[in-house]
Amino acid sequence: MTTRKPPESETPDGREAISADADHWIRQFIKHFELNVLNSSRKLPPNAGVSEFQLATARAILATYLDSGMEFESAVELLAQVTLEKRSVNIAWNDALNQRRFALIDKEIQGTLTAAESIELAGLTRIMRDHVESELNLPIKGAQALHRKLLELESTGESD
């Protein structure tokens, strides 16, 4: 008899759950994030407004990623990727995204790239890298297919 293995986010009786690692990550991230928000807010004037708190919070988010061991560029790319995901549901790499990335690189070379476009470029670079590095796009796929084929031939005695 086969039983369906519940997804990681589900307990055997169907309740939603998270892993112990996720729980630990949340607690650590929140603690560092709070300390970083406090740190980035301590210099604010007494009459600071919401926009200044928002800026301090954005600095704290980045600082917390760096605290977690991420490189600066990776953290920026990650935030940019999430920004792009928010804009578009289908974020799979395609020719249109590739063309857009080239256009942004041209603007970067010309020195006319805006701050928002810089974030967009980082996000596109991240998505492109994920696409290139994904197992489906690696040449190993062909090697795996060949390996499977050889195993089949061996099991049927056709390899001689």
Question: Is residue 31 part of the contact set for another protein (CB under 8 A)?
Answer: yes
Burial class (CB in 10 A: 0-12, 13-18, 19+), 77: buried
Contacts (CB under 8 A) with another protein, residues 35-74: 35, 38, 42, 46
Distance CA 6, CA 17 (A): 11
Nearest CB to another protein, comparing residues 15 and 86: 15
Distance CA 115, CA 108 (A): 11
Stretch that binds another protein, among 34-42, 69-77, 89-97, 129-137 (CB under 8 A): 34-42
Question: Is residue 155 part of the contact set for another protein (CB under 8 A)?
Answer: no
Strand partners, 16: 10
Contact positions toward another protein, by CB under 8 A? Answer: 11-12, 17, 20, 23-24, 27, 30-31, 34-35, 38, 42, 46
